[in-house]
Structure 1
Amino acid sequence: MVLVTLSTGPLSCLEAAAPNIVLIISDDQAYGDFGFMGNELVQTPHLDRLAVQSARYPRGYVSMSVCRPSLATLLTGLYPHQHGIHFNHPPPGLQQMRKMTAAQYHATRAQADYLVENVATLPRILAKHGYACLQTGKHWEGDFRTAGFTEGMTLGRPAERLGQVTGTRAQENGEPVAHGNGDAGLVIGRETMQPIHSFIDKYAGRQPFFLWYAPFLPHTPYDAGPRFKELYEGQLVPRHLLPYYASIARFDETVGQLLKHLERKSLLTNTLIVFVTDNGLRPDPKRADRYDSRSKLSPFENGLRTPVLIRWDGKTRAADHQGLVQAIDLVPTMLAAAGLSSKITSRMQGLNLMPSALGEKMLPTRPAFGAIYPNDAVTLGEPARHVRGRWMREGRFKLIVPGPVEPPLPLALFDLRADPGEKVNLASDPEQAGRLEKMKDKLDRWWRPGDNSQVTKRVHP
């Protein structure tokens, strides 16, 4: 196992007292598939225990319901139309890229590196202020250094063996390439937790650290061992959900291992723990190896919605917060906990959640926004050309507005309180015409894909 380390700058007195930060990101897990969210079948005891000890935000939203754009938002605190990473695969798209030589393939993937290289990402900001920053698991932006981590597992090149769980695949000519989603880093959680344990041991009590734990779980392949499936014996789990639920239990176990290691090192009182999913997914009832079309890559709740948990022992209050929160809120929240919020986050649209997590303030009432894009990009730097549709939630209502890309999303308005399954489209209801127009006006005012004023450029140490 290779873990590459870079040196970090000196610590000031303020930074020496800063908390450690652990960001846990579930991969492809629907918002309702947690015990603490009311699912009585799925086995998530460690996450449930974390929830009991956390400030809980059950109405969280990611801005795009697929891996790479969502993870880029968690790195930058920006919407995809601001950071520009609204796709998984750059032009000309994955199918055409598979026909390239390995050198051409990696050069094509690298053409998008500038989108994150020149932005003041969360790890880049923290590293500048004395944090050691470790990347593990999912990471689509090439080498871990591209996003500003000081240490990491993903190197942007093929791993030592082919396979989905190493992010290493063969081109049509047989050459191995890094798929782009994390290469060697994807073994974290699936095969080992040792890089994380070693990182924590190295810096505990010496230097504040930031840990990005984004395992390739419960994402396919659903290859969790028999003991995880045995957890569901005697329960009426639908056949198409059992492999997925077993993978969720496998992920939950690793969260327990991580929390236990922090506890053994007596770090829980000086560590901020944040949990979120990158996007939701539900397996297709007819084919468990595929996802339901109203989950991942869709504007529906099973793709966009996520619980958010924030725990800092001795500081945050364990309570439910029913207001809408967004993935863009997490970067300003973590920076605020580190004492770095005011100037750095002034251009970000996200909300610092720490006052609510500490029990000092109520969450403000506000909408949540986002957009849906295809998996492959046609061009870089032109998100408005790629959007399949935009969405917003305000209170109990969700609006979906179609974009220019085929197949476009339908114009839709849902009352999520009366219709949580989003089955009844109220867009043509005359009684909702006024609401629809007001929400569409707010969505149009939010949507500014050509405006980069929110982007905080990279600040070199």
Structure 2
Amino acid sequence: MERRSFLKAACSSLAFSAFSGAAFAANDASRQTAKDALSSKKRPNVIVFLADDAGYGDFGFQGSKVQQTPHIDSIAKKGTRFSQAYVTASVCCPSRAGLLTGRYQQRFGHEFNGPDAKPMQGYTQDDLGLDPNEKTFADYFKSLGYRTCVIGKWNMGLRPQFQPWNRNFDEFFGFLGGARSYFPIEGEVNEHHVMIKDQKVYPEEKITYTTDDFTDYAVDYVQRHKDRPFFLYLSYNAVHTPMHAKEEDLEQFSDVEPWRRRANAAMTKAMDDSIGRVTGKLKELGLEDDTLIMFFNDNGGTNNGASNGKLRGMKGSQWEGGIRVPCIMKWPGEIKKNTVYDKPVSGFDFLPTAYAAAGGSKILGKPFDGVNLMPYLNGKKKSRPHKTLFWKRGEGYAVRDGDWKWVHQEDGTAGLYNLAEDISEKNDLSDKNPEKLKHLKKLYKQWESEMAPPKWKRGGGWIEYDIAEQLSS
């Protein structure tokens, strides 16, 4: 019964997609008017490169002596590196929801990983995904006449109302779940792993290596849209498990041990090579100076051979190793080159920053929690973009106010730390600073009271449905 209900909804989804396409075509004139109304300065293309589960110290620009990332390092040299960049969650799915919407994902109940989850009381399987009422990069950039594309890992829900082609993305090539094999899958492919291109199942036998395949599509996308502003969200699944690396890349790190660390280095190299291909295409087409590039990671490194350097903890925790990530922004002539910005920023700043850079000002949905970082980066604003930041995942939570951070882990471990003096969170100052601890707890309780309860629990309970059958109906 569940599968029949899904297929019925899926057919409606495809009909809606066709209608949406016609509606977009009909509104070309209005979008052109919006485009013409912007300043005469050429609006930038925008590319968001997102790595998956990479370690804080696992890039050349972050000081790695193992991972070789000359192409990503080049972006850092030509742009600004953020030394205190945070995600909004320490695991993939909610972190990406915060990035895509510019808002704390807890505001709309998107607290846990999904969509393989069990709904909370009052919700159903139809609620397991990025709330359709929330606006994303695609909505904002479509309003400015941009073409929009997402490539790679989606992880925002399986059902039709959550699928990227029903969320204002013109093009999608990737998979809907949270992870999959980098190589072709033999036998039956489930709804989380199936590759999709142009709303059709992409044959497994055509897959070579997902990092390369995603990049092939991205390079072609840039070529096809070189004469019109575009937004591209290139969401790699590298270096998330499974630890699948190409043999030729593994050979370059034959002296690295243990094996998982070697595979991580090889997979990172493949991603760096791929990013180099995209930036090379921009340069070839004369688009480099007209493109805002953002590089980010979705959460801290984990047991995939990653290294978080001096940071305590890993993916899933509220320690710095779970939430502080590598981050770069590059826009020639607008963002300073070879510079380090050392004040705290968050993933939810990406959307308001890119939208403002493209000339946008009208808020289409609910207010952003993120801010436009451009005035901070060009020196017009000297203050911190955020005095206070919050994190919550189940019974684990944290608040950072200024340089002070209070952490409460799910296992009950808690502590107060001064990050300006103790980036590794070794020295708990709770006993010495009771008033500061009391203040941070009060800030957190106030923020928590403004958030919505989660719509689903973590892990388990999901009901299978046939994406392949949906797309062929």
TM-score bracket relative to the smaller structure:
0.7 to 0.9
- Residue 164 of structure 1 aligns with which residue? 181
- Residue 399 of structure 1 aligns with which residue? 406
Q: 1:84-99 counterparts in 2 under 5 A?
A: 84-90=109-115, 93=118
- Per the TM alignment, residue 394 of structure 1 is displaced from its structure 2 partner at its CA by 3.1
Q: Provide closer, same or farther for how the CA distance between residues 396 and 224 of structure 1 changes in structure 2, counting only shifts above 3 A.
A: same
Q: 1:4-403 counterparts in 2 under 5 A?
A: 6=21, 9=28, 10-11=31-32, 12-14=35-37, 17-90=42-115, 93=118, 110-113=126-129, 115-141=130-156, 142=158, 143-154=163-174, 156=176, 164-165=181-182, 176-179=189-192, 188-205=210-227, 207-232=228-253, 239-283=259-303, 294-318=313-337, 319-341=339-361, 343-344=363-364, 347-364=367-384, 366-373=386-393, 387-401=394-408
Q: Provide closer, same or farther for how the CA distance between residues 92 and 21 of structure 1 changes in structure 2, counting only shifts above 3 A.
A: closer
- Per the TM alignment, residue 46 of structure 1 is displaced from its structure 2 partner at its CA by 0.9
2:268 and 2:298 mapped to 1: Cα distance? 14
2:336 and 2:194 mapped to 1: Cα distance? 35
2:341 and 2:312 mapped to 1: Cα distance? 29
Task: Decide which moves more: 220-229 or 135-144.
Answer: 220-229
Q: Provide closer, same or farther for how the CA distance between residues 272 and 200 of structure 1 changes in structure 2, counting only shifts above 3 A.
A: same
1:42 and 1:328 mapped to 2: Cα distance? 27
Tell whether 2:424 aligns with 1:434: no
Q: Provide closer, same or farther for how the CA distance between residues 420 and 284 of structure 1 changes in structure 2, counting only shifts above 3 A.
A: farther
Does the CA contact (< 8 Å) of 1:144 and 1:154 recur in 2?
no
Does the CA contact (< 8 Å) of 1:400 and 1:413 recur in 2?
yes
SS of the equivalent of 2:280 reads: helix
RMSD: 3.5
SS of the equivalent of 1:392 reads: strand
How many residues are treated as equivalent by the alignment? Answer: 404
Runs (5+) with no aligned partner, structure 2: 1-17, 454-473
CA deviation string 1:411-450 (max 9, x = no partner): 22223344433233333x2x12111111222222332444
Greater RCO between the two (CA within 8 Å, min separation 6)?
2
Q: Provide closer, same or farther for how the CA distance between residues 311 and 156 of structure 1 changes in structure 2, counting only shifts above 3 A.
A: closer
Does the CA contact (< 8 Å) of 1:144 and 1:155 recur in 2?
no
CA deviation string 1:147-206 (max 9, x = no partner): 32111124759xxxx963489898xxxx7421279766996524352221221122112x
1:180 and 1:116 mapped to 2: Cα distance? 22
- Residue 413 of structure 1 aligns with which residue? 416
1:280 and 1:34 mapped to 2: Cα distance? 13
Does the CA contact (< 8 Å) of 1:57 and 1:321 recur in 2?
yes
- Per the TM alignment, residue 51 of structure 1 is displaced from its structure 2 partner at its CA by 0.3
Runs (5+) with no aligned partner, structure 1: 95-106, 374-386, 453-461
Q: Provide closer, same or farther for how the CA distance between residues 343 and 283 of structure 1 changes in structure 2, counting only shifts above 3 A.
A: closer
SS of the equivalent of 1:193 reads: helix
TM-score by length of 2: 0.76
2:283 and 2:150 mapped to 1: Cα distance? 21
